[in-house]
Amino acid sequence: MAMMRYAEALRAALREEMQRDPSVWLMGEDIAVYGGVFKVSRDLLEEFGPERVRDTPISEQTLTAMAVTAAMAGTRPVLEIMYADFLPLSVDALMNQASIYNYIWNGQVTMPFVLRTQGGGGAGAGAQHSKSLDALVAHIPGIKVVAPATAADAKGLLKAAIRDDHPVVFLEHKLLYNSRDEVPDGDHLVEIGKARIARAGSDVSIIASSKMVVDALKAADELAKEGISAEVVDLRTLRPLDRDTIRASIAKTHHAVVVNEGWRFCGYAAELSATIMESCFDELDAPVERVATHDIPIPYSEPLESTVLPDAAKIAAAARRALA
Partner 1 sequence: MSGDITLAGGAGEYMESATIVSWSVALGDRVRAGDVVVVVETAKAATEIEAGRDGVLSEILAPEGAEVGIGAVLGRIADSLAAPAPQPASPDQSPAPAQETQPVLAPPAVAATSEHGRRINISPLARRLARQAGLDPSGLTGTGPGGRIKSRDIERALLARGAPEDQVPVARPAQAAAQAPATSAVPLVLIHGFGANAAAWNLLRPHLDGARTVLTLELPGHGRAPALAAPSLEAFAEAVLGQVEETGAQECDLVGHSLGGAVAAILSANQSVRVRSLTLIAPAGLGPEIDGAFLSGFLSARTPESLEPWLERLVGDAASLPRGYAQAVLRERERFGVAATQAAIAQHLFPDGTQAIRIAADLRRFAGPLKVVWGRADRIIPQAHQNDLPGHVACHRLDGVGHMPHVEAGALVARLVMQCVRSAAMA
| Residues at the site binding partner 1, with contacts judged by CB under 8 A | 194, 196-197, 200, 202, 244-245, 247-248, 251-252, 254, 279, 281-286, 321, 324
- Catalytic one among 8, 60, 261, 271? 60
- Catalytic one among 129, 173, 188, 255? 129
* Shortest Å, Cβ 279 to partner 1: 7
Nearest one of 233, 232, 235 to 190, comparing CA atoms: 235
* Shortest Å, Cβ 200 to partner 1: 7
* Shortest Å, Cβ 281 to partner 1: 5
Question: What CA dihedral angle connects 250, 204, 238 and 314, to 10 degrees?
Answer: 150
Determine whether 60 is an active site residue.
Answer: yes
Q: Please say which residue, 58 or 200, places its beta carbon nearer to partner 1.
A: 200
CB atoms inside a 10 Å sphere around CB 223: 22
Q: ∠ CA(31), CA(55), CA(152), 5° rounding?
A: 25
* Shortest Å, Cβ 244 to partner 1: 5
Nearest one of 182, 162, 199 to 3, comparing CA atoms: 182
* Strand arrangement, sheet containing 24-28: 53-55, 24-28, 76-81, 114-119, 168-173, 144-146, 237-239
Residue 192's φ and ψ, nearest 5 degrees, are -70, 135
In a 3-state reduction of DSSP, which class is residue 81? Answer: strand
Please enumerate in sequence order all residues whose Cβ is within 8 A of that of 118, keeping only pairs 6 or more positions apart, or say none.
38, 82, 83, 84, 171, 172, 173, 174, 177
Question: Contact, 231 vs 206, CB < 8 A?
Answer: yes
Q: Please say which residue, 78 or 183, places its beta carbon nearer to partner 1.
A: 183
* Shortest Å, Cβ 74 to partner 1: 29
In a 3-state reduction of DSSP, which class is residue 55? Answer: strand
Nearest one of 193, 136, 138 to 164, comparing CA atoms: 193
- CA 260 to CA 235: how far, in whole Å? 11
Determine whether 302 is an active site residue.
Answer: no
Question: Contact, 114 vs 284, CB < 8 A?
Answer: no
Please give the single-letter amino acid code of residue 125: A
Q: Which residues are catalytic?
A: 60, 129
